Amino acid sequence: MRIKYLGTAAAEGIPALFCDCDVCKKSMKLGGRNIRTRSQAIIDNTLLIDFPPDTYWHFIQNKLPMDEITNCLVTHSHQDHLYELDIYMRKKGFANFKEPRPALNFYTGKDGVKRINEVINSNNMSEAKAHLVKSGDVFNVQGYTVTALEASHAKESTPLVYIIEKDGKSVFYSNDTSEYFEKSWEILKNFGKPISLISLDCTEGDKHIEYIGHMNLERCIALREKLKTVGVADENTIFVLNHFSHNGGNATYDDFVKIAAEHNFLVSYDGMEIEI
């Protein structure tokens, strides 16, 4: 199994469009891994995770086989993770396919389904389908076993995080959440085995925060220990910090990767690939 991080930023991106903060200025000057687009990932160049406004750019940059991709897990309905208007670009006339035309299947919570269906229904589309996912659901997508857990994020966005398994390997993609609800901890406990790679939200970098909805380095360290305690992580689990805001402390990628390394975390960057 292989995960590729296509985009690794929070909603504003880094540098943020209208911002003149030090992180944005320095990131623009440095370029490379310091430049971050809105969060999206892909498993084995097959299974998409999230559908942000930067999907088109990720397609160009990574030469993604978007005409062949037919499944996308959506974490929640905020626009930086679900830009549903671009689904219309799959309609016949905008995109030309050999028949039969495959549908692009979106798996998401209640609000995501509502938003996707508004696009599908208003444009009379058969080229996309929305599938309702609830916390605790375990389902098969193209040979992957997916377990959905409720995320601790804006409730109206019906947020989910996902464990994705195949051939004895697994990824827990867990951003846009803070510490999990008890029901989600029960699902993790019942999972009953170490996960190969765990990708954690670190929106606020090394800045101290207390609010609910995102994480920082301090809280990721504590969460990692609890994940080990309940048996879904061990010394072989790869931990990656992901989903960064320019407001998260005063660190660019180049700065933060050194800080995170002191605590044995990898730091995601746009284009990062990890073979599990």
Segments making up each domain of the chain, as ranges: 2-275
How far apart, in whole angstroms, are the C-alpha atoms of residue 128 and residue 146? 20
State residue 93's pLDDT score.
93
pLDDT at residue 99, as a whole number: 85
Question: What is the rounded CA–CA span in Å between residue 119 and residue 112?
Answer: 11
Our CA dihedral for 68, 71, 75, 77, rounded to 10 degrees, sits at 80
Positions of the chain with pLDDT under 70: none
Residue 100, helix vs strand vs coil: coil
* Sheet containing 2-7: order of strands: 128-132, 104-108, 71-73, 47-49, 40-43, 2-7, 273-275
- Write down the pLDDT at residue 100: 86
Q: So what's the architecture of 2-275 in CATH?
A: 4-Layer Sandwich (3.60)
The pLDDT of residue 87: 98
CA-closest candidate to residue 247, choices 202, 204, 206: 204
> Which pLDDT does position 132 carry in this prediction?
98
Whole-model pTM: value is 0.97
